Structure 1
Amino acid sequence: MMYHIVYQSTAVEPFNSEPMQAMLEHSRRKNRRIGITGLLLYSNGNILQILEGEEPIVHELYKLIQHDVRHTNVITLADGPISQRMFSDWSMGFQDIADQDFKHILSCVEARQLPPTSRVEVDEPLLNLIKSFVEDEQPRL
C-alpha cells in the first residue's frame, strides 16, 4: 500500500533559482534512492508539497522536512494511504506557479480537509487538479 503526505509551508527567505535548483537536484537524487515520488509547487515563498511512497519512508522524510530551517509554518494538509502513486514519473516534480493558482489549489485542498484527528488521503480528483496546474506548465523534473 502506498502512502502520501501533503503539506504547506512558508520559506524563511524566498528562493531564487540557484538555491532552488540545488535543493531540487539533491532531493531528486535522494528521492530516487529511497523510492519517493512527488511534486513541489512554489509561489513567492509559499510551498505545497506532495510526497508519495512506502509509509515508513514517507514519515521519516517528512520528519526531516518539518525540521528543515529553510521553511516555517509546516502544516499537514493530508496524511494517509493511497491506492496508487499520482506522480510516479517525478522523483520531485517542480513548478513555480502564479499566486492566484497557488491560492486556488490551497483553497481546494482546505475545502476537502477533515479535522486533524482524522486526516486521510486527498482524493484523486483533487490530486488530478493539482497535477493539471503542473502539466499545463511543463514541469521541471
Structure 2
Amino acid sequence: MLRCLFYTSLLASGESPATVTDIVRAARYKNRLQGVTGVLVFDGLALAQYLEGPPGVLAELRELLSRDRRHSGFHVRLDIEFAGPRFFPGWSLAFGICTDPEAFQRFEGREGNAAFDLFRSMLPEFDVEA
C-alpha cells in the first residue's frame, strides 16, 4: 500500500525563490532513502507538490510540511492511500518551473482526485527536470 499527498502553498514572505532550490536538493536525497517519489512545481511564488510513498513516511512528511515556515497557505488537496502503481516511480523529486502566473489559480475549488488529475494534465506545460 502507498500513500499520496498533493498540496499547494505559497513561498513565505521574506523567503527567496532560491529557498525552493535548496529544499529540492535536500528532499531528493531524503526521498531516495525513504522510498518517496514525486514532483514539485514552482512559479516564483506558488508551489504545487505531489508525493507518494510508504504511508507512515508520508504521514510524517505531511506533519513536517504543515509546520514548515518557509511556506504559507498550506492546502492539502489530496491525501489518500492507494494500491499503486506509483505515478512517478523514477523521480525522487522532480522539479518544474511554471511560467504562467495564472496557472495555479486553476486549482481553486478543486480537491481530491480532481485536483491531482488537473495537476497531471498540466505537467507538460512546466519545465520539469527529474
Asked if Structure 1 and Structure 2 have the same fold, meaning a TM-score greater than 0.5 normalized by the shorter chain, the answer is yes
In the alignment, is the contact (CA less than 8 A) between 2:78 and 2:116 conserved in 1? no
Give the Cα–Cα distance (whole angstroms) in 2 for the partners of residues 59 and 28 of structure 1.
18
Offset, 1:79: 1.1
In the alignment, is the contact (CA less than 8 A) between 1:15 and 1:45 conserved in 2? no
In the alignment, is the contact (CA less than 8 A) between 1:2 and 1:54 conserved in 2? yes
Give the Cα–Cα distance (whole angstroms) in 2 for the partners of residues 77 and 91 of structure 1.
21
Q: Within 5 Å, which residues of 2 pair with 1:1-141? A: 1-13=1-13, 15-16=16-17, 18-84=18-84, 85-97=86-98, 98-104=100-106, 106-107=107-108, 110-111=109-110, 113=111, 122=113, 127=116, 129-141=118-130
3-state secondary structure, aligned to 1:50: strand
Question: As a proportion of its length, which structure holds more helix?
Answer: 1
Offset, 1:39: 1.2
Offset, 1:3: 0.8
Residue identity matched to 1:130: F
In the alignment, is the contact (CA less than 8 A) between 2:97 and 2:126 conserved in 1? no
In the alignment, is the contact (CA less than 8 A) between 2:7 and 2:76 conserved in 1? yes
In the alignment, is the contact (CA less than 8 A) between 1:40 and 1:92 conserved in 2? yes
Residue identity matched to 1:8: T
Give the Cα–Cα distance (whole angstroms) in 1 for the partners of residues 73 and 125 of structure 2.
28
Count of residues in Structure 1 that have an aligned counterpart in Structure 2: 127
Change (3 A) 1:35 1:26: same
Give the Cα–Cα distance (whole angstroms) in 2 for the partners of residues 127 and 70 of structure 1.
23
Offset, 1:71: 0.7
Change (3 A) 1:136 1:71: closer
Offset, 1:134: 2.6
Give the share of equivalent positions with the same residue, in percent: 24
> How well do the aligned residues superpose, as a CA RMSD in angstroms?
2.1
Residue identity matched to 2:122: F
Can you list the C-alpha shifts for 1:26-48, whole angstroms capped at 9, x where unaligned?
A: 11000001011111121231111
Give the Cα–Cα distance (whole angstroms) in 2 for the partners of residues 47 and 138 of structure 1.
14
